[in-house]
Structure 1
Amino acid sequence: MALRITDACINCDMCLPECPNEAIFEGQKVYEIDVARCTECVGFYEHQTCMAVCPIDCIEIHPEHIESKAALEEKFKALKII
């Protein structure tokens, strides 16, 4: 799975430095998450750090990008090559 940031985002900057894959970036209105880079912190942490620090809980599972833990681990390994 990948995560996404909803339109409720207040651009507080809390999530940006927390992403170990540098998947979060500043979008036109709110921060966004690059689904190709998001591993839900698999390979780094037990829990999604961006979700943990978000003060308004506007980060959620992206329903269009459902991936198994094994798929996330493979994505993590591939990103380490880049």
Structure 2
Amino acid sequence: MLKIIAIILVMVYVVMPLLRFLLKGFVITQAHKMMSEQEIRAKQNAARARKEGSIDVDFVPPSASKTKTKPADDGDYVPYEEIK
């Protein structure tokens, strides 16, 4: 009977505060990690933000030297004169 009471007292006065201390440290480190990841994402998004007048090219077609197919014939060139 005394062993059970001693085990319960050790659990209440030693193990519980120790677990609380360790859990508190774990939560704090996870919160700092999440905040730093959020700051990194915010900086990346700010760097990616388009400025007015800038042009972003998402797709660059392969050059003619890399392709073996003949480019499509768009028709004949018709010279013209500008009338004022």
Q: TM-score, normalised by structure 1?
A: 0.17
Q: TM-score, normalised by structure 2?
A: 0.16
Point out the structure with the larger strand share: 1
Q: Which has the higher contact order (CA 8 A, sep 6+)?
A: 1
Larger Rg: 2
